[in-house]
Structure 1
Amino acid sequence: MIDVTILTGRTLQQGIGLEVGKVSEEYSKSVNYAEISKSDSIAIGFTDGSPVEVTTEIGKVVLHGRISETLSPGLIFVPYGPWVNQVLGPDTNCTGTPQLKGVRGKLELAEGKNVPSIHDLVKIIRGA
């Protein structure tokens, strides 16, 4: 397990997925992953495509991991969406927007765990 700082943002693939629909496979694939630096992937014994678990004081989520050649060690990138929302807090500090960048968390391999589907996430959010 390593300490990480979570960065979020939009991607081109996410925009395409949104056009197809938020319950589509295209959309899910465009937002249910975390990009991890090459050196961090080595530190946790990660191979590209393996599931990883991201944990913050708010919650945790399993994501598909992708190795990034451009991210600095200690940073992960996760696209905006329902998966990353499981680890981001709702507090806006009077700005109207929650903290979406610079959130501290932990990253580890999620061996034996599956990335939840959008339908599974809805059940989690509803408390089912």
Structure 2
Amino acid sequence: MEALLNTGSTIDEGRLAKGGSKYTDDYTKECAVCWMCAEDFTSLGCPEKVAVISRDRKYSVALTTKVTEAMRSGQVFIPRSIWANVVVEPDTFSTGSPRYKGSPVFVEPTDDEILSAEELVTKMYMGGE
């Protein structure tokens, strides 16, 4: 499924991040999540987890799904975090800030493991497994 990715803070993401809890299970449960509407969730086969894939298909991140009426069809939301950063469009258009709103992505069901923040940083940015 093609979708537009929006990211942003949630109350608990902010509380955990500002409180120094980025390496906790609570932070992973709050932020390694892809919010979507019921219609899109059903069209994907009601998966427990999805892979959100960058437009160029170079980057992908596995997330749990969260069905919510706050989302419209064709749009997904990931709380502001390392998981969102994997697939956010890096272009800044000379603003110095990546495209945190409206990045085109692909969303597919997956059985991939949900990585912790530490595991994801090691895998994506340090070349580790």
TM-score by length of 1: 0.90
In structure 1, the gaps of 5 or more residues are none
Distance 2:104 2:67 in 1: 19
Match of 2:9 in 1: 10
Whichever residue aligns with residue 16 of structure 1, its letter is R
CA contact (8 A) 2:89 2:103 kept: no
CA shift for structure 1 position 42? 0.8
The alignment yields a C-alpha RMSD, in angstroms, of 1.3
Distance 2:44 2:90 in 1: 29
2:53 equivalent to 1:71: no
Comparing 84-93 with 98-107, greater Cα deviation is found at 84-93
CA shift for structure 1 position 122? 1.7
2:118 equivalent to 1:119: yes
Number of paired residues? Answer: 124
Partner of 1:83, secondary structure, is helix
CA contact (8 A) 1:20 1:27 kept: no
CA shift for structure 1 position 90? 2.8
CA shift for structure 1 position 24? 1.6
In structure 2, the gaps of 5 or more residues are none
Distance 1:117 1:24 in 2: 8
Match of 2:49 in 1: 51
Kindly provide the CA deviation profile for residues 72-108 of structure 1, in whole angstroms up to 9, marking residues without a partner as x: 1000010111011111133211101111010001111
Match of 1:61 in 2: 61
CA contact (8 A) 1:20 1:26 kept: no
